[in-house]
A and B are shown apart, each in its own frame.
Chain A
Amino acid sequence: MDLIDRYRLNGSVPRAVRQPQTAEEVAEALREAARSGWAVVPWGSGAHQSIGYAPARYDLALDLTRLSRVLRHRPANLTIRVEAGIRLADLNAMLAEHDQWLPLDPPFGDQATIGGILATGLSGPLRARYGSARDLLIGLRVALADGTLIQGGGEVVKNVAGYDLPKLFHGALGTLGVIVEASFKLWPRPKAEATWAFSFSRAEDALPLTLSMLRHPGFPLAVEVLNARAWETLRGTLELPEDPGARIWVVVRAGGWPAQVERIGRDAVAAASEARGKDRLPEETTSALWARMASVAILPTPAPTEALGVRLGLLPSQLTACAAALESTEEIPVIWRAHGTLGLIYAEGRGPMETLLRWAGELRSFTLAQGGHFTILGGLESAKRTLGLWAPLRPEVEVMRRIKAQLDPEGRLNPGRLGWA
């Protein structure tokens, strides 16, 4: 395959590819692009290039995966500074030697690079305990559209000097600048861990469990809720409990000192009074399960043609109503998964596009009526155009547009990704 084909997006290929090896080379590539008026799309592993609209213009693919060094790990300070192209998996393998980790587990985390995780703002089940990359990020170095290198934050865990630029670039989909370095606070790995799986006949039966885990002072590592179809996709390759009568599964991951782990497990079992099945999963299954979990109900890139992936942001208590809305139509086999203590829900539907659009449109109305937000995460460009990438669009968008105009006045960084930026 031609090198350039690897960077195909929505049918178009860039005019050129650059694979810089240093931050300076990234800056130089951006300066060169600025001179030619080229539109630039930053690349990590490409695992989530389908998020957002396809870029409106695409001249240069700026591949950052050769910026993959650890710049400074201070084990006694629990902080690390890395280049943006490093893979999360490689970083955590290195940190494991110190009994530390960067506790992030985004979808397709085996491929994901740090820069990509930051730019997309995606998170995984561990977020229940550790927050998202937003909460762990303490510093950034960014190359702006004109090739200027700037920094925000630093390498200390508390810092209020200047605006919190790391927050601004997190989740901006590469429309404001190209992240070249990032520093994080790290966490010690839990001394012990265990995972329990609970099956329920109805979503409302699972709610007492998820809500009690939300307010549990032992802070469970993860509380994932899956519908039966989602559970079956996992059971296809893993040794997991089976319950043909279950509609909903809740998987609780506890970590900490052994006595704390046992206590969280006991409380989870007690709160799951309506559960049909309650299983403590064997250790040999759990690491494979959690490696797979974050990608359930997330469409791969590029998305299959007859599929649509969405994300809903609601409150944890709205999960029951949401479960009903997600599976309101028999025509589409929906796979969904939620961070049970956070109210973030991921769903993928497969079927004819017309039916999918109707399903997604109804979900969007439901979410907005509940005061939440709705995003199309994956699917055909035409579907995104028809439904709009996200809702609600509030007056704050005008401020976002002004920020974009200040930082990338020519609109050359990932143009059109957010529709207005």
Chain B
Amino acid sequence: MKRAQALQELLEVFGPRGVLWEDHHLLLYEYDASIDKGRPDFVVLPTSTEEVVAAVRIANRYGLPVVVRGAGTGLSGGAVADQGGLMIVTTRMRRILEIDPVNLRAVVQPGVVNIAVSQAAAAHGLYFAPDPSSQKACTIGGNIAENSGGPHCLAYGVTTNHVLGLEVVLPDGEVIEVGGAACDWPGYDLTGLIVGSEGTLGIVTKAVLRLMPMPEAVVTLLAVFDTVDQASEAVSAIIADGTIPGAIEMMDQTAIQAVESAKRCGYPMDAGAVLLIDVEGLPEGLEDLARHIARICEHFDAREVRIATDPAERERLWSGRKGAFGAMGRLAPSYLVQDGVVPRDQLPRVLRQIQEIGRRYGLTIANVFHAGDGNLHPLILFDERDPELTRRAVEAGAEIIRACVEAGGTLTGEHGIGLEKRDLMPLLFSPVDLEVMARIKAAFNPENRLNPCKMFPSTRMCLETWSRRKARMEKPIRYRITPAPTDAEEELWI
């Protein structure tokens, strides 16, 4: 009864093309890029703030949890409806409302794809700096929820450093504005708090972004090392030397071999590690700077340093890094990517620990990561169809995270906590730290209806609901148009 009524109300607002409720449609929205799954009860595709408000109000009337999803490229399960409920998909809110080339601002809807902002700004010589590897697909709303990073965040900062203001729908349906196009709005920095809150505080329906001038010149260095140790010592030395390049990325031998056989981007197959370094900005002195960095690499026994200034050659060197996650398919059917961060001077030690953990669990681990930030991305290779391997991969991942925290680091640098790492939060935060976060959540989301069971250690209720719903997901789906649910149907979201 409740389900049929809720559907009826959603259809009234969104029309038949704006609501999905049949299992074979919902199936497409039950996962993101992490390994967790959970099927929502309804999906709506709003085109405006008003429609988001209407959806939230309907969800409130029927006690439905609300999960917001952009492109579904998230890596921590943040947009997975593990508790069911109403999923608000923002991909039809994809208008760029304004580009202000004089003041370097853009105003966009949340479903705008990251790279579309830079494309729209390119005519003015501007771009949006945060560049997650999924930037051709991921949305600004998702970037804001996760406080996403990317290779070039080393020099320019992550999403939060580039978001000036937001329009936010609160869980009770009220719309507020926080921050704005000017800097330093008075009062508490709610913008800074909402960025990175993983959809648990409010629903972003509009964002004011800061644009940056494009660099006039970019030089890419490829430094080839025999060992990961040498490469990570070089990273520490470059940072300590007082030079902050645009990006410093590292790949280890496993990654190099997978990438090179897939992409032919010119990395030596027998190298122990490569560093990919961008120096950028003004052309004046840039090549001197590149040569200076090359000398540091050589000092740490780089056996070869290539310096590319030609855009096609640079593109080729970067293609390997950008296609690295995809190339892992050559090595194993599935991978689990971790996202721990360590102080940069701890890189050599922690990378050795990761290899040791891989050996102990009998798993291959490839490393492709933002070395300049100390942000690791160990890719643990396994086969999702094998429960024993899956268990070992998850355990090895948790052990890597523990090693990062012990080295003075953190659980996640840019992928978020989501479902995946929620039970690891106590590694980093004391019960009182978590209690304070819960109180802040209560100030926005007192009934815990927005993205419940994410980001904080799971409660018994979270787990029970999830296991009931999981059992249901395993039932086969009949691919035919079914009539709207009847009164007899069980209430799915309870």
Q: Which residues of A contact B (CB under 8 A)?
A: 74-79, 99-100, 121, 123, 131-132, 134-135, 144, 148-152, 154-165, 167-168, 170-172, 176, 187-189, 191, 211, 214-219, 256-260, 262-264, 313-317, 342-344, 371-373, 375, 389-390, 394-397, 399-400, 402-403, 405-407, 418
Which residues, 325 to 351 on B, are CB-close (under 8 Å) to A? 341-346
B215 and A168 contact, CB distance less than 8 A:
no
A406 and B160 contact, CB distance less than 8 A:
no
User: In the assembly, what is the distance between CA of A318 and CA of B440, in Å?
Assistant: 36
Closest Cβ–Cβ distance, residue B32 to chain A (whole Å): 16
User: In the assembly, what is the distance between CA of A274 and CA of B411, in Å?
Assistant: 53
User: In the assembly, what is the distance between CA of A49 and CA of B126, in Å?
Assistant: 40
User: In the assembly, what is the distance between CA of A5 and CA of B6, in Å?
Assistant: 65
Q: List 11 A-B pairs, Cβ < 8 Å.
A: A79-B343, A148-B436, A151-B433, A156-B342, A158-B370, A158-B374, A171-B188, A264-B282, A313-B183, A344-B184, A389-B186
B-chain residues with CB within 8 Å of residue A373 when the two chains form the complex: 180, 182, 184-186
At the interface with chain A, which of B14-22, B146-154, B300-308, B379-387? B146-154
A-chain residues with CB within 8 Å of residue B185 when the two chains form the complex: 313, 373
B189 at interface, CB cutoff 8 A: yes
B425 at interface, CB cutoff 8 A: yes
Residue of A nearest to B177 (CB): A394
B180 and A217 contact, CB distance less than 8 A:
no
Given A258-B285, A373-B185, the answer on whether A163 and B196 have CB atoms closer than 8 Å is yes
The 8 closest A-B pairs by CB, nearest first: A167-B192, A188-B242, A259-B285, A158-B413, A313-B182, A259-B284, A402-B443, A406-B439
Residue of A nearest to B125 (CB): A215
Give which listed residue, B147, B240, B344, B432, contacts A160 with CB less than 8 A. B147
A168 and B196 contact, CB distance less than 8 A:
no
Residue of A nearest to B153 (CB): A158
Residue of B nearest to A161 (CB): B411
A375 and B125 contact, CB distance less than 8 A:
no
B146 and A217 contact, CB distance less than 8 A:
no
Residue of A nearest to B416 (CB): A160
User: In the assembly, what is the distance between CA of A375 and CA of B241, in Å?
Assistant: 41
User: In the assembly, what is the distance between CA of A215 and CA of B127, in Å?
Assistant: 11
Q: When each residue 98-121 of chain B gets 1 if its CB lies under 8 Å from chain A and 0 otherwise, what string results?
A: 001011110000000000000000
A-chain residues with CB within 8 Å of residue B147 when the two chains form the complex: 160, 164
Give which listed residue, A151, A188, A400, A407, contacts B439 with CB less than 8 A. A407
Residue of B nearest to A397 (CB): B187
Closest Cβ–Cβ distance, residue A253 to chain B (whole Å): 16
B-chain residues with CB within 8 Å of residue A176 when the two chains form the complex: 188
User: In the assembly, what is the distance between CA of A197 and CA of B247, in Å?
Assistant: 34
Q: A170-B192, A217-B215 are in contact. List 20 more A-B contacts (CB 8 A).
A: A76-B237, A77-B345, A77-B374, A131-B161, A135-B161, A150-B430, A150-B436, A152-B433, A156-B343, A162-B437, A167-B195, A172-B188, A172-B189, A219-B281, A259-B284, A315-B182, A344-B182, A371-B180, A390-B186, A396-B187
User: In the assembly, what is the distance between CA of A78 and CA of B285, in Å?
Assistant: 23
A-chain residues with CB within 8 Å of residue B432 when the two chains form the complex: 148-150
Q: When each residue 169-203 of chain B gets 1 if its CB lies under 8 Å from chain A and 0 otherwise, what string results?
A: 01000101110111111111111110111000000
A-chain residues with CB within 8 Å of residue B421 when the two chains form the complex: 161
Given A215-B125, A316-B103, A375-B186, the answer on whether A164 and B195 have CB atoms closer than 8 Å is yes
B197 and A154 contact, CB distance less than 8 A:
no
Given A263-B284, A315-B181, A344-B183, the answer on whether A76 and B440 have CB atoms closer than 8 Å is no
User: In the assembly, what is the distance between CA of A132 and CA of B411, in Å?
Assistant: 26
Closest Cβ–Cβ distance, residue B65 to chain A (whole Å): 19
A403 and B409 contact, CB distance less than 8 A:
no
B455 at interface, CB cutoff 8 A: yes
Closest Cβ–Cβ distance, residue A322 to chain B (whole Å): 11
B244 and A217 contact, CB distance less than 8 A:
no
A-chain residues with CB within 8 Å of residue B341 when the two chains form the complex: 156-159
A-chain residues with CB within 8 Å of residue B242 when the two chains form the complex: 99-100, 188-189, 191
A-chain residues with CB within 8 Å of residue B409 when the two chains form the complex: 154, 156
In this complex, the member of B182, B216, B242, B440 whose beta carbon has the largest number of chain A beta carbons within 10 angstroms is B182
User: In the assembly, what is the distance between CA of A131 and CA of B210, in Å?
Assistant: 12
Closest Cβ–Cβ distance, residue A179 to chain B (whole Å): 14
Residue of A nearest to B192 (CB): A167
B268 at interface, CB cutoff 8 A: no
Q: How large is the interface on B (under 10, 10 to 19, 20 to 34, 35 or more residues)?
A: 35 or more
B188 and A161 contact, CB distance less than 8 A:
no
Residue of A nearest to B411 (CB): A161
User: In the assembly, what is the distance between CA of A156 and CA of B189, in Å?
Assistant: 21
B-chain residues with CB within 8 Å of residue A215 when the two chains form the complex: 104, 125-126, 213
User: In the assembly, what is the distance between CA of A396 and CA of B170, in Å?
Assistant: 10
A-chain residues with CB within 8 Å of residue B417 when the two chains form the complex: 160-162
Given A76-B236, A263-B284, the answer on whether A313 and B345 have CB atoms closer than 8 Å is no
User: In the assembly, what is the distance between CA of A317 and CA of B181, in Å?
Assistant: 12
User: In the assembly, what is the distance between CA of A78 and CA of B243, in Å?
Assistant: 11
A168 and B184 contact, CB distance less than 8 A:
no
B-chain residues with CB within 8 Å of residue A74 when the two chains form the complex: 343, 345
Give which listed residue, B180, B282, B439, contacts A260 with CB less than 8 A. B282
B-chain residues with CB within 8 Å of residue A375 when the two chains form the complex: 186
Residue of A nearest to B401 (CB): A161
User: In the assembly, what is the distance between CA of A32 and CA of B239, in Å?
Assistant: 45
B374 and A160 contact, CB distance less than 8 A:
no
B362 at interface, CB cutoff 8 A: no
Residue of A nearest to B236 (CB): A76
A-chain residues with CB within 8 Å of residue B433 when the two chains form the complex: 150-152, 162
In this complex, the member of B343, B408, B434, B437 whose beta carbon has the largest number of chain A beta carbons within 10 angstroms is B343
B254 at interface, CB cutoff 8 A: no
Residue of B nearest to A267 (CB): B282
Which residues, 418 to 456 on B, are CB-close (under 8 Å) to A? 421, 425, 428-430, 432-434, 436-437, 439-444, 455
B288 at interface, CB cutoff 8 A: yes
A-chain residues with CB within 8 Å of residue B244 when the two chains form the complex: 187-188
User: In the assembly, what is the distance between CA of A395 and CA of B379, in Å?
Assistant: 45
Give which listed residue, B197, B281, B373, B444, contacts A157 with CB less than 8 A. B373
B-chain residues with CB within 8 Å of residue A188 when the two chains form the complex: 241-244
B-chain residues with CB within 8 Å of residue A135 when the two chains form the complex: 157, 161
Give which listed residue, A161, A171, A344, A406, contacts B443 with CB less than 8 A. A406
Closest Cβ–Cβ distance, residue B232 to chain A (whole Å): 11
User: In the assembly, what is the distance between CA of A256 and CA of B242, in Å?
Assistant: 11
User: In the assembly, what is the distance between CA of A213 and CA of B417, in Å?
Assistant: 39
User: In the assembly, what is the distance between CA of A176 and CA of B188, in Å?
Assistant: 10
A-chain residues with CB within 8 Å of residue B153 when the two chains form the complex: 158
Residue of A nearest to B241 (CB): A188
User: In the assembly, what is the distance between CA of A356 and CA of B373, in Å?
Assistant: 49
Which residues, 31 to 48 on B, are CB-close (under 8 Å) to A? none
B278 at interface, CB cutoff 8 A: no
Residue of A nearest to B181 (CB): A315
A-chain residues with CB within 8 Å of residue B343 when the two chains form the complex: 74, 77, 79, 155-156
User: In the assembly, what is the distance between CA of A220 and CA of B184, in Å?
Assistant: 20
Residue of A nearest to B159 (CB): A160
Given A156-B410, A158-B149, the answer on whether A217 and B187 have CB atoms closer than 8 Å is no
B189 and A134 contact, CB distance less than 8 A:
yes
Closest Cβ–Cβ distance, residue B175 to chain A (whole Å): 8
Given A158-B158, A161-B412, the answer on whether A217 and B373 have CB atoms closer than 8 Å is no
